[in-house]
Amino acid sequence: MSQDPTEHAEETSLLELVCRREGSPLTVQRRAVFESVSTRTDHPTAVQVHEDVQRRLPGVSRMTVYRALAWLVRLGVVAKVHHPDGVARFDPQTKRHDHIVCLRCGRLLDLSSPAFEALELPDIHPLGFRVTDYTVLLRGTCPHCQQASAAPRGAEAQARPRSGPNGRG
Amino acid sequence: MSQDPTEHAEETSLLELVCRREGSPLTVQRRAVFESVSTRTDHPTAVQVHEDVQRRLPGVSRMTVYRALAWLVRLGVVAKVHHPDGVARFDPQTKRHDHIVCLRCGRLLDLSSPAFEALELPDIHPLGFRVTDYTVLLRGTCPHCQQASAAPRGAEAQARPRSGPNGRG
DNA sequence: ATGTGTGCAAACGGTTTGCACGTGC
DNA sequence: GCACGTGCAAACCGTTTGCACACAT
């Protein structure tokens, strides 16, 4: 996709920094996994990241990708988000933010809206919980699926585009 | 728990009503599944519902519970909520509402707060999406785990009490 | 009587784990 | 050189599916 290596230069050095701090070696595989996640904006699944990495580093096993992702999440460099479909997805955005998901194709996107940034949740302690964090999930229909929904009947049954890797409802 | 059968009388008749409308037979198993979900407030997993149902109707298979739950969800009588752990949970509350989850034990609860009811989200159409629905997920620590967190070190690593049926982070 | 819900068992997909080898530091 | 990350294969868990029988209507 992007030909400019300097684009992710600072992120990569962040990765190195974190590695030093943890005393963990920064391997080629981990770097590739991080590159994949931080390049994409569509919250890829572990399998999708694996495909991505494979393209650059043939031979990398799925296990390595799973472990690298878990490691990145543990270091706080990557966020694990839970898709309604149940499969884990990964997000380079680690700051608190919200998501929007298309109920037809399952596409999940970050919600970057000033209005949402400004949103202030009531500061409550429901049932004695100590609330540390929150996230809003919007559900709806993406532009592409809005057009598609006009065409066929029984739209709910299909709604399974090749590029949308989401299984069950 | 509750000995009073009249407590769920209206819900049961709702179930019968919906069955008539759908032309679907109301079986003992389905009734038991519905009873289980509507009685509990802790958003049981399919397996937990199965255990519940088994207690009353020994011999009911897990498959039946899965299918009954899917059926109830399709009829709009029960809501399927997605837990951060990835396992599906079920909720008798079908109206739009929010949740709070304990990051230690995984317990998921409905959030019934007037302040949250009154919350108005910005009416935006991010990236051309048509937003139909939304939900807020609060993350935090439940009262029980707040006490427990005082005791051991490395709390994040363990945090896996027997009663909390949540696998991965 | 009839249609469909149920039960069994097997498959499936995503994810995790144990161990020998290779690699980064 | 040493530790740890990697790769392989197999297990695991929640969930789905196909088919014969039983049950609700």
- What are the per-10-residue average pLDDT scores of chain B (169 residues)? 46 76 88 94 95 93 96 93 95 93 93 77 81 92 86 43 32
Query: What's the pLDDT score for residue A23?
Result: 84
A149 part of contact set with chain B, CB < 8 Å = no
Nearest CA in chain B to A108: B129
| Nearest residue, CB atoms, A124 vs list B115, B124, B127 | B115
Query: What's the pLDDT score for residue B7?
Result: 46
Closest protein CA to C1' of nucleotide D23, residue: B27
Q: Which of B91, B86, B122 is nearest to A115 (CA)?
A: B122
Query: What's the pLDDT score for residue A163?
Result: 34
Nearest CA in chain A to B86: A86
Residues of chain A contacting B89 with CB distance shorter than 8 Å: none
Residues of chain A contacting B100 with CB distance shorter than 8 Å: 126-127, 129, 131
Residue A80, φ and ψ in degrees, nearest 5: -95, 120
Residue A1 corresponds to which amino acid?
M
Query: What's the pLDDT score for residue A20?
Result: 86
Query: What is the rounded distance in angstroms from the CA atom of residue B131 to the CA atom of residue A101?
Result: 9
| Token pair belonging to B143 | 């009262």
Query: What's the pLDDT score for residue B1?
Result: 43
Query: What is the rounded distance in angstroms from the CA atom of residue A66 to the CA atom of residue A61?
Result: 9
Closest protein CA to C1' of nucleotide D13, residue: B167
Cα A120–Cα A43–Cα A92 angle in degrees, nearest 5: 70
Query: What's the pLDDT score for residue A29?
Result: 95
Q: Detail the protein residues whose CB sits closer than 7 A to any atom belonging to strand C.
A: A 19, 25-28, 45-47, 62-63, 66-67, 70, 87-88, 165, 167; B 24-25, 27, 29-30, 57, 59-61, 63-64, 67-68, 71, 86, 167-169
**What order do you get walking across the sheet with A108-111 strand by strand?**
A108-111, A98-102, A130-141, B130-141, B98-102, B108-111
B88 part of contact set with chain A, CB < 8 Å = yes
Positions in chain C where some atom is under 7 Å from a protein CB: 3-9, 13-18, 23-25
**E strands, B25-129, where?**
79-82, 88-91, 98-102, 108-111
Q: What is the mean pLDDT of each run of 10 residues along chain A (169 residues)?
A: 48 78 89 94 96 93 96 94 95 93 93 78 81 92 86 43 32
Separation of A63 CA and C21 C1' (Å):
16
Query: What's the pLDDT score for residue B15?
Result: 86
Query: What is the rounded distance in angstroms from the CA atom of residue A45 to the CA atom of residue A81?
Result: 10
Cα A52–Cα A82–Cα B70 angle in degrees, nearest 5: 115
Instruction: Report pTM.
Output: 0.81
Is A146 in contact with B138 (Cβ distance < 8 A)?
no
Q: How far is A3 from chain B (nearest CA, A)?
A: 26
Contact B99, B116 (CB under 8 A): no
CA distance to B1, B7, B26, B35, B67, per residue, from B4 (Å): 9, 6, 21, 13, 27
Query: What's the pLDDT score for residue A114?
Result: 78
Contacts of A145-153 with CB under 8 Å at 24 or more apart are A145/A102, A145/A104, A145/A105, A146/B128, A146/B130, A148/A104, A149/A104
Positions in chain D where some atom is under 7 Å from a protein CB: 4-9, 13-18, 23-25
Decide the pairing of beta strands A88-91 and B98-102: unpaired
A115 part of contact set with chain B, CB < 8 Å = yes
Query: What is the rounded distance in angstroms from the CA atom of residue B88 to the CA atom of residue B47?
Result: 10
- Cα R_g (chain B), whole angstroms: 18
Nearest CA in chain B to A140: B131
Q: Name residues whose C-beta falls within 8 Å of residue B111's C-beta, 6 or more positions apart in sequence.
A: A126, B97, B98, B99, B100, B136, B138
Query: What is the rounded distance in angstroms from the CA atom of residue A111 to the CA atom of residue A96?
Result: 11
B116 part of contact set with chain A, CB < 8 Å = yes
Which nt sits closest to A61, CA to C1'? D7
